[in-house]
Amino acid sequence: MLTGERIGHALKAAQLSQRAAADTTGISQPTLSRIINGERAAKVPELLAIAAVTGYTFAELTGQSRIAERAQVAARATAGVTMEQMRSALLRYLELDAYLDDQGITAS
């Protein structure tokens, strides 16, 4: 999956339209559209802004995350939460844990 596709998926998962994301990030809607459609590469500040409004990590948006490939999830969705939402939330925690490990920050 390409970065633009990941961004489109992140917006959808966050229930944000391109217009709402544009208003929140300061990135124009036409620019967001071009990024999502693969017509333009996203710049680092844009990726960081999109990550902030979607709840996805920079690594998830750019495909640099290897956590998702290694994680095996066994869970049951409840209270109207989908399995994809549960998996996404779990992967964010695993990404944070891996980042803290990389930085030498241990749990106390």
In percent, the amount of the chain with pLDDT more than 70 equals 87
CATH 1.20.1250.20 for domain 3-62, yes or no, is no
Least confident of 48-57, 69-78, 94-103: 69-78
Q: Which residue has the higher pLDDT, 91 or 9?
A: 9
Alpha helices by DSSP H, listed for the chain, are 3-13, 18-25, 29-36, 44-54, 58-62, 67-70, 83-102
Q: What's the pLDDT score for residue 108?
A: 63
Position 19 confidence tier, pLDDT thresholds 50, 70, 90: very high
pTM for the model stands at 0.66
Q: What's the pLDDT score for residue 11?
A: 95
Q: Which residue has the higher pLDDT, 4 or 95?
A: 4
Tokens of residue 87, six digits: 């998996």
Q: Which residue has the higher pLDDT, 5 or 104?
A: 5
Please say if the pLDDT value at position 45 is more than 80. Answer: yes
